[in-house]
Amino acid sequence: MLKGSIAIFNHLLLIEQQSSLNNMKKARRLPIYSTIIRIIKFFQKENLLQLFFIIVLLIITSSLLLAYFEPNLSLLNALWWSIVTLTTVGYGDITPTTLEGRVVGIIIMFFGIGLLGMFTATIASIFVEKKLKENKGMKSFHFENHIILCEWNHRTREILAQLRMDERTATAPIVLIANIPEKPVDDDNLYFIQGEVTEETLTRANLKQAKTVVILGNDRLEANARDAQVVLATLTVESINPEVYTIVELVDEANVQHCKRAHADEIIVGSEFSTHLISRAALDHGISIVISELLSSRVGNDIYKIPVPIHLTGKRFIEVFSSLKEQYNSIALSVQRGNYGAVISNPGIDFRVEKGDFLIVISEKKPDATKPLHG
């Protein structure tokens, strides 16, 4: 099944691929206004606005009283003293000398410190609660062009690890939907939603703006029930966003047609993949070693999808094949008509590649199609 998860990873990577002056001034001001509005709404939502105004009122009142009672003390210095005292910094540069001024100081010390402590403790608890909710999968997310992984098992862990090894997805946001108690791995860019794959959890994952969805089987179910759940999840995904690229994993090849009817873009049968690889390795020793190297990002050569280099557009496949080997030290396996079109494996020597086509190649590192590596 490890081979199946690595295969899914490789399929996944293959598809990754002035106003007027017044308006400009408004555009510069807009972030400031929106930030202030967000802060006010945050304070209102968390019931902090009233406490905040009490603290501000206490600072202003104590500043006015101190400036009134203390001779030779300006309002600005009184304001400075109130803030320093309230925050328990206490520089000692300003000290009340009158009885009235000291009474004001005692009041702000007792009441101010308590109010400020309540304020900071409330904010801290909000962030702790937010982090707990995130780890428990209770939040919603609003990413765009992101990847959604459905179900958590050892294959999902391997797919995530492989994605993080590729520079294109090393820090990309990935949303995980799984019916497990809490976020399974420490990954700052993995966002967890707790629950089954339903319309509600997919909406919380912002499926409508997602680029790719990977649907894996639930290992806790027997084969037929597991595949049935995958087909149902595929139908749900495609009904919400028919444009998203869907990769699904099945146990039984007999269920492939069901996923095709559900409009899955790529279907990988794990058991079929493994048994075919084992049988080929039994007949021709060493094949599994080559396949394992190609499907792993950890060692050796890898499989990549690249746009046809401009200077090779319109050329025969045999010319493209030779040029790639000479200039990039790469081997062309297939041609894909457009980014999501048909894939033609091992085309004939007279097959001509066209503008907009993509090449699926074997190479030690991803070739830069804009310039040759050699010569």
Q: What is the pTM of this model?
A: 0.61
Q: Which of 135, 168, 195 is the last residue of a domain?
A: 135
Q: How confident is the model at residue 344 (pLDDT cuts 50, 70, 90)?
A: very high
Residue with tokens 């899914």: 8
Per the domain annotation, does 205 fall within a domain? yes
pLDDT of residue 55: 82
Nearest CA-CA partner of 152 in 210, 89, 197: 197
Cβ within 8 Å of residue 16, ≥6 positions away: 168, 169, 211, 212
In this structure, the answer to whether residues 164 and 255 fall within a common structural domain is yes
In this structure, the answer to whether residues 271 and 308 fall within a common structural domain is no
In this structure, the answer to whether residues 174 and 264 fall within a common structural domain is yes
**What CA–CA distance (Å, rounded) separates 85 from 310?**
70
Q: How confident is the model at residue 11 (pLDDT cuts 50, 70, 90)?
A: low
Averaged pLDDT for residues 318-343? 91
Q: Is 360 within 8 Å of 343 (Cβ atoms)?
A: yes
DSSP 20: -
Task: Select the more confidently predicted residue: 36 or 13.
Answer: 36
Q: What are phi and psi of 302, to 5 degrees?
A: -135, 170
> What is the CATH number for 11?
3.40.50.720
In this structure, the answer to whether residues 159 and 271 fall within a common structural domain is yes
* Amino acid letter, 22: N
Residues 236-284: tens digit of each pLDDT: 999 999 999 999 999 988 899 999 999 999 888 876 676 677 667 777 8
In this structure, the answer to whether residues 131 and 103 fall within a common structural domain is yes
* Amino acid letter, 372: P
Q: Which residues form the domain of 223?
A: 2-16+138-275
Q: With helix as H, strand as E and coil as C, how does 191-249 read?
A: EEEECCCCHHHHHHCCHHHCCEEEECCCCCCCHHHHHHHHHHHHHHHHHHCCCCEEEEE
In this structure, the answer to whether residues 222 and 321 fall within a common structural domain is no
Nearest CA-CA partner of 302 in 236, 349, 367, 229: 367
SS3 assignment, position 95: coil
Per the domain annotation, does 32 fall within a domain? no
Asked if the model's pLDDT at residue 322 lies above 90, the reply is yes
In this structure, the answer to whether residues 199 and 342 fall within a common structural domain is no
Q: Is 191 within 8 Å of 136 (Cβ atoms)?
A: no
In this structure, the answer to whether residues 340 and 271 fall within a common structural domain is no
pLDDT of residue 173: 95
Greatest CA separation for the chain? 101
Asked if the model's pLDDT at residue 293 lies above 50, the reply is yes
In this structure, the answer to whether residues 148 and 240 fall within a common structural domain is yes
Whole-number average pLDDT of the chain: 82
Per the domain annotation, does 93 fall within a domain? yes
Q: How confident is the model at residue 23 (pLDDT cuts 50, 70, 90)?
A: very low
pLDDT of residue 375: 44
Distances 218 to 65, 196, 206, 348 between C-alpha atoms, Å: 69, 10, 22, 41
Q: Which of 135, 161, 184 is the last residue of a domain?
A: 135
In this structure, the answer to whether residues 245 and 330 fall within a common structural domain is no
Q: Which of 107, 135, 163 is the last residue of a domain?
A: 135
Asked if the model's pLDDT at residue 297 lies above 70, the reply is no
